[in-house]
Amino acid sequence: MNLNEPSPDLLRKLAERLGPKGFTADAVDLDPWLTDWRGRVRGSAAALLSPVNRDEVADIVRWAAAERVAVVPQGGNTSMVAGATPAGGALLLSLRRMNAIRGISHQENIATVEAGVILSDLHRAAEAAGRRFPLSLAAKDSATIGGLISTNAGGTQVLRFGPMRALVLGLEAVLPDGQIFEGLSALRKDNRGYDLRQLLAGAEGTLGIVTAASLRLEAAVGERIVAWVGMADADKALPLLRMLEDRIGDAIEGFELVPSVALELVLRHIERTRDPLAGKHGCYALIEAAFPSGTPAAREAIEAALMEAMERGLVEDASIASNEAQAVALWALRENISEAERLDGISVKHDISVPVSDMPRFMESATRQVEAAFAGARVIAFGHLGDGNIHFNVRSPAGQAAQPWFDANNAAVNRMVHDLVTAAGGSISAEHGIGQLKLAEFARIAGPARLDALRAIKQALDPLGIMNPGKLVPLASDPPAP
């Protein structure tokens, strides 16, 4: 279905409705928001709209629908799949000015926030109220609640609290015809059939615009314990995780699997990092446990569990951070893997998932097969073991110019990795979504039942196809994938 450019009349009406702070068609103002975070896709838009409330959003969408003009919602623009990058002629709708925290209720244990609230601002507000919003990721100083909901973001605490979908209790949204969906409830139980809230979560802005949400909070963290362990091989990791859960319960929040090649890369490229253990090991894990204040003997429980793991041969050596600075230093080894990779050269990246119990086998076998198929290619596979989420990155052969290798092999590497993960019953997108960058591969792999259902939902809610076209739902009328 063809979409139109906004008419001069529509642009004039929008400028009047939103005022100078809420409307610009100036190329300089638009420029920073037209390229995706990774710098891989450059878009264009007719205007940047920055409403301050849901009624302004509803007018924008209703008027855009009347002219069949595309609307592209954007939060912090940190999408890893170019999900918020508009194609020509669209209205780029930024939610960043809708950034009020409407309230935090200790009794209900919820926060009610507008879509443009930045994640780290919510963390601070929850902390000030003696609570905690239990989802975090490296883009927390830019990513917004609306974007996090729309991508069903994951992050480092999914093992314990689930992804964004599990934390959304209620939603307020503007649907593609401009109607306002009043779903901002604090209900823990609500069984009125199809769940529009869950449909909008993870919809990547293709079914409407999230304007506010009520979100689940948790008890504040009193004590956080971070440990780094060395294991003989990755097969020891899952029995170790399950043993820790048996001993300590759901206080285990993070279990990151780090292969020795990733640690070596970080130690080589990142200043002020050091190996926490004296000897070398086949594989490492970063473990984080968090306890509410007043939990008796939390540290002793972790120490005893790791001691037992050593006696059972699951762990060869371990180091437990004894203060916050040491905890940060241990996390730096994990969080700097991507940066170390970047400093080492370009790589073909994948954010995939497989069943948790299959993760060590998949990492080993897919690494072997990809390295055999692409002579000299070097795989780094690391990730969140508890979620089966693997960052499977393939670097160019040592000593070979990275960019030409990337250009020549990117598509073929993608295909091979996606085929391997599909054969393993996994997903080609664990947490980043489909956006533009994975659209073609999603269309190739998803299968007719999934694609038909997706298209039917899209058609039912957005029959004009104006909401974030060219993302997530492969349609015949989409522009070709970049």
| Residues in touch with ligand FAD (CB under 6 A) | 37, 72-80, 83-84, 95, 115, 137-139, 142-144, 146-148, 150-151, 153-155, 204-205, 209-210, 431-432, 468, 471
Q: How many CB atoms lie within 10 A of CB 61?
A: 26
Q: Which is nearer to ligand FAD, 84 or 301 (CB)?
A: 84
Let me know: does 261 contact 315? Beta carbons within 8 Å: no
Q: What is the spatial distance between Cα 225 and Cα 337, in angstroms, rounded to a whole number? A: 21
Query: Cβ closer to ligand FAD: 42 or 368?
Result: 42
Nearer CB in complex with ligand FAD: 179/293: 179
Smallest Cα–Cα separation from 217: which of 154, 132, 303?
A: 132
- Please, is 27 exposed, middle or buried when counting C-beta atoms within 10 Å of its C-beta (0-12, 13-18, 19+)? exposed
Of 320 and 381, the one with the shorter C-beta distance to ligand FAD is: 381
Residue 376 CA to residue 203 CA, distance in Å, equals 38
Please state, as a whole number, how many other Cβ atoms lie within 10 Å of the Cβ of residue 331.
18
CA geometry: angle 25, 27, 28, nearest 5 deg? 120
Q: Least separation, in Å, of the C-beta of 343 and ligand FAD? A: 15
Helix (H, G, I), strand (E, B) or coil at 195: coil
CB of 412 to ligand FAD, least distance (A): 25
Residue number, 205 or 259, with CB nearest to ligand FAD: 205
CB of 397 to ligand FAD, least distance (A): 27
Angle at 337 between CA 333 and CA 340, to 5 degrees: 110
Rounded to a whole number of angstroms, the minimum distance from the CB of residue 237 to ligand FAD is: 19
Question: Of the two residues 33 and 228, which places its CB atom closer to ligand FAD in the complex?
Answer: 33
Q: Which residue has its beta carbon closest to ligand FAD?
A: 147
**Sign of the alpha-carbon dihedral angle for 123, 126, 130, 132:** negative
Q: Is 109 helix (H, G, I), strand (E, B) or coil?
A: coil
Specify whether the CB–CB gap between 310 and 318 falls below 8 A: yes
Tokens of 296: 């008796």
CB of 372 to ligand FAD, least distance (A): 30
Residue closer to ligand FAD (CB basis): 306 or 354 = 354
Q: How far is the CB of 170 from ligand FAD (least distance, A)?
A: 15
CB of 144 to ligand FAD, least distance (A): 4
